Amino acid sequence: MLNYSEKLALNAILEAAIIDSEDDDGDPVFHEVLAEDVNTFEDKRLQADVYDDLAQNGLIACSGTQDENGNEVLEFVCITPKGLEELKSSSGVH
């Protein structure tokens, strides 16, 4: 069962992925979004801890890359099919 922070994070990732995926295939599963754009927490440390737990349980996937200048790392997250099912289950949606 997901805790409150995990549900909050998965919902934020899913909502951003739904909006972003409308321009291509319309499927939010495995659609990467910028992690900084879906941070629903007060600090990045809490976000990192929650994302680590979700990734270790296979509920999200994470990746990173450098920006066009090669200066900073951009972090991406996406919800997995397992994450979507867990979110539905914990929200009472079947």
pTM: 0.86
Domain architecture of the chain: domains with CATH: 4-91 (1.10.10.10)
Closest CA to 14 of 34, 36, 29, 4: 29
What number of other Cβ atoms are within 10 A of residue 89's Cβ?
Answer: 12
pLDDT at 73 over 80: no
Specify the DSSP class assigned to residue 35. Answer: G
What are the start-end ranges of the E strands in the chain? Answer: 33-34, 60-66, 73-79
Let me know the angle formed at the C-alpha of 54 by 58 and 6, rounded to the nearest 5 degrees: 135
Residue pLDDT, tens place only, 11-69: 999 999 999 888 888 789 999 999 888 988 888 889 889 999 999 999 999 988 887 78
